[in-house]
């Protein structure tokens, strides 16, 4: 088995789409109520939530080639607020929240 996609349900798909595009993700497909970002072997998808549906509590980890450069770029945009950290699971990472409070963590392996 392999991860096919992660879906974040949202009451405001346009706000969430703009946020993830601002992080540098490219839209792969946009069907209005369903938006996909190509993120390597798996896909990050947004789905318009039905009224009253749960829309918080997910976490997304995106592996990047240069976490320091991305951190500087997102900090300049006012998006990255937390510190860069070397984590005990072998990654240098930073975490931010999307507009709904979902955690988005970016990491680069410490050892290639």
* DSSP character at residue 1: -
At residue 7, the pLDDT reads 87
Rounded Cα gap, residues 53 and 104, in angstroms: 21
Q: What is the largest CA-CA distance in the chain?
A: 44
Closest CA relative to residue 97, chosen from 19, 26, 37: 19
Q: Is 66 exposed, middle or buried (0-12, 13-18, 19+ CB in 10 A)?
A: exposed
Mean per-residue pLDDT, 8-35: 94
At residue 32, the pLDDT reads 92
| Domain range 5-47+58-109, CATH architecture | Roll (3.10)
Beta-bridged to residue 96, according to DSSP, are 104
Rounded Cα gap, residues 99 and 22, in angstroms: 12
* CA-angle at 10, arms to 79 and 24, nearest 5°: 35
Rounded to two decimals, the pTM is 0.74
pLDDT at 93 over 70: yes
Domain boundaries, the chain: 5-47+58-109
At residue 62, the pLDDT reads 87
Mean per-residue pLDDT, 36-43: 88
Closest CA relative to residue 45, chosen from 6, 18, 10: 6
> For 44-70, how does the pLDDT look when each residue is reduced to its tens digit (9 = 90+)?
999 888 777 767 778 888 889 999 999
């Amino acid at each position: 088995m392999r991860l096919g996609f992660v879906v974040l349900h949202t009451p405001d798909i346009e706000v969430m789409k703009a946020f993830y595009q601002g992080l540098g993700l490219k839209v792969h497909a946009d069907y209005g109520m369903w938006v996909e970002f190509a993120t390597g072997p798996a896909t990050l998808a947004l789905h318009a939530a039905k009224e009253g549906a749960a829309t918080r509590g997910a976490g997304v980890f995106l592996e990047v080639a240069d976490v320091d450069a991305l951190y500087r770029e997102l900090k300049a945009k006012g998006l990255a607020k937390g510190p860069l950290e070397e984590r005990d699971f072998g990654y240098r990472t930073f975490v931010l929240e999307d507009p709904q409070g979902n955690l988005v963590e970016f990491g680069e392996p410490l050892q290639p």
